[in-house]
Amino acid sequence: MLLGTSTNQHLAHALAAALEEPVVPLAYRRFADGELIVEVDDDAALPRGVVCDDTFSLDGRAVVVGSTVSDAAHLELLQLQDLAHEGGATEVITVVPYLGYARQDVAHHPGQPVSARAMLRSLTASTDRLVTVEPHEEAILEYATAPTDAVSAVHALADGLGPIGDDPLIVAPDAGARDLAETLCASVGRGTVDHLEKERIDDTTVEITVSETDASGRAVVLVDDEISTGGTMVTAADELYGLGAASVVAACVHPVLVGGAYTRLRRAGIERVVGTDTIEGQVSRVSVAEQVAAVL
Ligand code: R5P
């Protein structure tokens, strides 16, 4: 039995198809004070195993699916976990394809919280297990108070890259994404890997240094775990074109793409942006449903 948040309907249905389990229809409304109430849509035909009349019950396990793309989405996920318990689910598994707040994995300055810890404690307080996809730092899963699984999306991403030539240069914009680039290269089965050096100046600005990268005439695939403002990819693409790259494609697992990020990427000459459906949007060309279903 799948329960998907309003932000991850597509993945919830893809996962349901892969697992051959139904999706529980839900309805949403807000109270006058703005609070969200999510409830089983008893006007819809309910799948076998779900009863919602004088009482509410659902048979078997419940898989709650939702990326915490916003504080509201986080709260909605907690509501769905509670709904699953309310219905008497035998087990509640929480799939959070994209874990928001994961980049706040340490207190970057004295006086700051470890927000990733607070986020994970909250998400795992009321679930039997948490499954996520390519978290920013896998070490943050140690903050969870329930068992966790981290699923790799790289093979799915490799299949969805589109034309990248016979000998692509697969580049991580910083050392932290090097493993991702290595795995992507192994998955596409050709090309070479390099990484750049990145220094973050502020939320939207980074400085990228290239050292011995030989991009001249190469088809480049830039790969990172997420694209948020696009600042990292735009700066990296500028440097690579400066070195004579023939083309640049940007790939990421989590296409957060805030504000005008997509336009910034295209204006930097990035030919194509490829992301997965951990976050639904215009570049979510690749589904991670099969990979997530495999661990469920
Ligand atoms: C940071 O270490 C991440 O791996 C990404 O590089 C970062 O989140 C991208 O953010 P933006 O698109 O805002 O540069």
User: Of all atoms in ligand 1, which is nearest to the CA of residue 261?
Assistant: 12
Q: Is 89 an annotated catalytic residue?
A: no
For the stretch 212-259, pLDDT in tens is 888 999 999 999 999 999 999 999 999 999 999 999 999 999 999 999
Q: Which amino acid, 55?
A: T
User: Of all atoms in ligand 1, which is nearest to the CA of residue 230?
Assistant: 12
- Ligand 1 probe mutation, 103, 195, 224, 263, most atoms within 8 A of CB: 224
pLDDT at residue 274 tops 90: yes
User: What does the pLDDT read at residue 213?
Assistant: 82
User: Of all atoms in ligand 1, which is nearest to the CA of residue 229?
Assistant: 13
Task: Let me know: does 236 contact 245? Beta carbons within 8 Å.
Answer: no
User: What does the pLDDT read at residue 211?
Assistant: 74
Rg, the chain, Cα only = 20
At residue 224, what are phi and psi to the nearest 5 degrees?
Answer: -145, 165
Cα-to-chain-centroid distance, residue 152: 11
For the stretch 252-269, pLDDT in tens is 999 999 999 999 999 999
CB-defined site of ligand 1, < 6 Å = 173, 176-177, 206, 224-232
For the stretch 150-193, pLDDT in tens is 999 999 999 999 999 999 999 999 999 999 999 999 999 999 99
Helix (H) or strand (E) holding 218: none
User: Measuring CA to CA, which residue among 291, 290, 273 is closest to residue 282?
Assistant: 273
pLDDT at residue 204 tops 90: no
Distance 268 CA to ligand 1 centre (A): 16
Q: Which amino acid, 86?
A: E
Distance 200 CA to ligand 1 centre (A): 9
